[in-house]
A and B are shown apart, each in its own frame.
Chain A
Amino acid sequence: MLRLRKIVFYIFALVYLVLCPLIVARMLGLVVNPLTYHLVQTGLVYVSTNPPDAFVYIDGRVSHQKTPTVVRDLTPGKHFIRIEQSGYNDWERNIPIIGKKATVLANILLIPEEWPIKRISTEPYQNIIPVPDDILVAIKDKHKFSLIDLKENPPLINETSNGPLNLQASSFAGNTFLINGNNDLLAKKGEWIRLYTKEDFSSPQVYDISRSKPSTNMYFEEKNGELFYLDDSGYLSAAQILPYHPILNIPIPESLRIKSASKEPNL
């Protein structure tokens, strides 16, 4: 047993001495180029997509794992990367790879070939202004606006009353006011636009709209991954962009980009 133990010990020691530098070299991305037999300092690329489980092709060869994945042993230089997912447009780029370095392509948004779009409103609007608490202020015209609560599914539209109202599109001491059927007040004083969402204006919920975020004609609701926008006819529509999880700073697809995006409602 003692002799066997010594033999096995020396075998293991030898294996360790051989394996250790090889594994450390592998860890640092050093590989032998099979063509030139020279050591090459390789790089890698980390790819994750939204949605996941997409195929990754590097220079035409498919990676053995779907996204998220790490593609190793890439020689320095440009590599053509294509990401494929059924039902989504291909994502293609020429990516520069640097030896010893990792190139990170995180959360690549895959664009569906067909967007699931639904119309929310029954009437057209001129403009929408997102305010905190996932509420959209939808401006219909100079006299009407609606509050759309996106927390509800489907979004709840507090319709503007069509009847005559006090202060509906009034000006007072140089200020402009709009009040809808629920007595929500949209007020403009100089550059400031404020929304008061309580009937009793003595203790209203106040949103400084123009201060909190610039208004656009679209709004991305993170929780459900829906993009709300006014379509060409001015109807409020929702495009399901991310059914999986929210991400920040999403690139807006060209097809959904609205040309006229005002910063302030036109009161």
Chain B
Amino acid sequence: MKFHFSKENLKPPTARLQRALEILPGACSWGVLLGLIFLSIFFPFIAAVLIVAFYLSWIMRVLYSTIFLLLSYLQLNIEKNTNWMRRIQGIDDLGAYWKENNSKKFGRHWRQRASHKIHLDQLNKLIASKNLPPASSSIYHLVIFPVVKEGRDILGPAIEAISRQHFPLKQMVIVFALEERALPLVQSAVYELEKKYKNVFFDCTTVLHPAAVPGEARVKGANATCAAKHAAAFFKARQIPFENVIVSCFDADTVVSLNYFACLTYHFMVCPLRLCASFQPIPVYHNNIWNVPGFARVVETGSSFYQLIEATNPEKLVTFSSHSMSFKALVDVDYWPVDMISDDSAIFWKAYIHYDGQYQVTPMYVTLSMDVVSANNWWQTVKSVYKQKQRWAWGVENFPIVMRAFLKSKKIPLYERLRLGFKLIEGHLSWATSGFILTIIGWLPIFFAKREFSASVAYYNVPDIANTIFGLGFFAICITIVLSLSLLPKTKMRYGWLLKIGHAFEWLMVPFILVLFSALPALHAQTRLMLGKYLEFWVTDKHRTIHKKPFE
């Protein structure tokens, strides 16, 4: 479907619809919060019933998520030692490879057998689709690093990690998408890296994005789009079909694991609809994990776990942060939005609408590591983490645009439109309100209790039920702590085990984090959208005191 995926340059009736849909998420969130406060004061019985129903739904959701967090973590472990290059080469000669794999048992360890079973299922689906992939030797990777203020200390490890990939480097093109407004120091660092790695890869180049292009906002998507257009010309000139190119748009601090591109190539090859697909790895924030305040560690580990849980549900998976996709799809949808902040999720919706719902995100059980937001001091880090979460929550800007498309679309099934529309609004509503209800509003009926309510059975039963539910929640947190400790990178510091024990206790900050770094920035973002005070792109502070190579 041809669709104008932007809030700009709309005809008056569409602009009014866009505006109304912009107001909706914030209005819903405020409606829920103020409504509950009102009920707590004037109709505490009704408020108590609603709050208990909410608590129960919350704990069911937490337990449900914990199950899939465990399964997802298990799958991450299963695929940890997979030889992706061997599999890629096998798919090149699919017939013989399938026979070989199907005829004998693989591996002694249960992990190897489980991995092999998943692999066989993927091969069977690929063969059944009859949509065979190009040879691995003809698949190219385009990696775009948008750069505006990241120096050599951030970019260096990122590019170095790519230079150590198992996948042939001569099939990889690195593009530094450099903002013209970047400081000279940053620019010179980028050009130095370009020079250093020029001959390591198929090509390594820098594309300078002009500072003020009409129709563009100061957003990462505009910069990445400019670089992708140059890359398109590059591939076209060398007669490399876009169908054979996979593009990865990475944050400048993204340090990929050694087998990332082999794993990505494998998933691209076995995905029957590979040209209408994005590939989502599991982001972890390990680059500077031991150099940031405890609350920031917990916040980012929580984000990684959210992605792990989401990875188990490809039907609802939306691209997030650093990810990869078919370059042909990127060109078909006219690249990333150039006027939106949440380019990572927007590109999925843009493609989903362009392909009338025939677009999917394939989860990959491979990690890439990024920086935890960090500033020079504790208070600045608090502010930076808050701003980053607000920027993530600004993904709500997709809602009005996607809804407009859903209202217009006739090819996307109604059920899918309702399902995804509900997921979008419910996700943002829950993001902005859950933390407040769990920690503050849930106790208001007791706090504001007048004589009638305070002399009721409900007055004494609500705290009792809440305590039981929170007890179960604590059980889920304990599982999260164990997984968190096992995911953390090894520290070379003396008494590193003490740091890990300390990290376990940091999870006790979850109630504060839920409000300060989840619900509040989300509500802030929705309120801004509701009031038409649009957010401007803010480049996250990333600061490393000790450089580490997390995958070594």
Contacts and interface: CB of A to CB of B under 8 A. Distances in A.
B68 A5 contact: yes
A17 to B, nearest CB: 10
B57 A23 contact: no
A220 to B, nearest CB: 28
B64 interface: yes
B57 A46 contact: no
B97 to A, nearest CB: 24
A35 interface: no
Interface stretch (B127-135, B156-164, B455-463, B527-535): B455-463
Contacts, number: 72
Contacts of B461: 26-29, 44, 72
Contacts of A44: 457, 460-461
A104 B455 contact: yes
Contact of B60 (A4, A15, A100): A15
Contact of B52 (A1, A5, A15, A24): A24
B457 A100 contact: yes
A2 interface: yes
A265 interface: no
Contacts of B57: 16, 20
Interface string B423-461: 000000000000000000000000000000011111111
A42 B457 contact: yes
B63 interface: yes
A244 interface: no
Contacts of B456: 100-102
B308 to A, nearest CB: 12
Nearest to A46: B460
A102 B460 contact: yes
Interface string A102-139: 10100000000000000000000000000000000000
Interface in A1-53: 1-2, 4-5, 8-9, 12, 15-16, 19-20, 23-24, 26-29, 42-44, 46
B49 A102 contact: no
Given A8-B64, A8-B67, A12-B60, A23 B465 contact: yes
B479 interface: no
B64 A27 contact: no
Contacts of A24: 49, 52-53
A46 B463 CA distance: 14
Contacts of A4: 71
B464 interface: yes
Given A29-B458, A100-B456, A102-B459, A23 B52 contact: yes
Interface string A201-231: 0000000000000000000000000000000
A28 B457 contact: yes
B248 interface: no
B271 to A, nearest CB: 14
B56 interface: yes
A102 to B, nearest CB: 5
Interface string B303-328: 00000000011110000000000000
Interface string B506-532: 000000000000000000000000000
A4 B67 CA distance: 11
Choose among B48, B64, B315 the residue with the greatest number of A CB atoms under 10 Å from its CB. Answer: B64
Contacts of A81: none
B64 A102 contact: no
Nearest to A28: B458
Contacts of B75: 1
Contacts of B457: 27-29, 42-44, 72, 100-102
A58 to B, nearest CB: 15
Contacts of A16: 56-57, 60
A10 to B, nearest CB: 11
Nearest to A4: B71
B313 A27 contact: no
A195 B234 CA distance: 103
A70 interface: yes
B56 A12 contact: no
A19 B56 contact: yes
Contacts of A101: 455-457
Contact of B312 (A1, A19, A42, A102): A1
Nearest to B57: A16
Interface string B55-75: 011001001100110010001
Given A16-B57, A29-B457, A43-B457, A2 B49 contact: no
Contacts of B460: 44, 46, 70, 72, 102
B56 A9 contact: no
Interface in B100-143: none
Contacts of B64: 8-9, 12
A1 to B, nearest CB: 5
Contacts of B71: 1, 4
A41 B532 CA distance: 50
B63 A20 contact: no
A192 to B, nearest CB: 41
Nearest to A26: B461
B455 A27 contact: no
B56 A20 contact: yes
Interface in B24-79: 48-49, 52-53, 56-57, 60, 63-64, 67-68, 71, 75
Choose among B457, B462, B465 the residue with the greatest number of A CB atoms under 10 Å from its CB. Answer: B457
A215 to B, nearest CB: 36
Nearest to B45: A28
B71 to A, nearest CB: 7
A2 B313 contact: yes
A102 B451 CA distance: 11
Nearest to B452: A101
A100 B453 CA distance: 10
Contacts of A102: 454-457, 459-460
Given A24-B53, A27-B458, 17 more contacts: A2-B312, A2-B314, A5-B68, A16-B57, A16-B60, A26-B465, A27-B49, A27-B462, A27-B465, A28-B457, A28-B458, A29-B461, A43-B457, A44-B457, A44-B461, A70-B460, A72-B460
5 contacts: A16-B57, A20-B57, A27-B461, A44-B457, A104-B455
5 interchain residue pairs of minimum CB distance: A29-B457, A27-B461, A12-B64, A16-B60, A70-B460
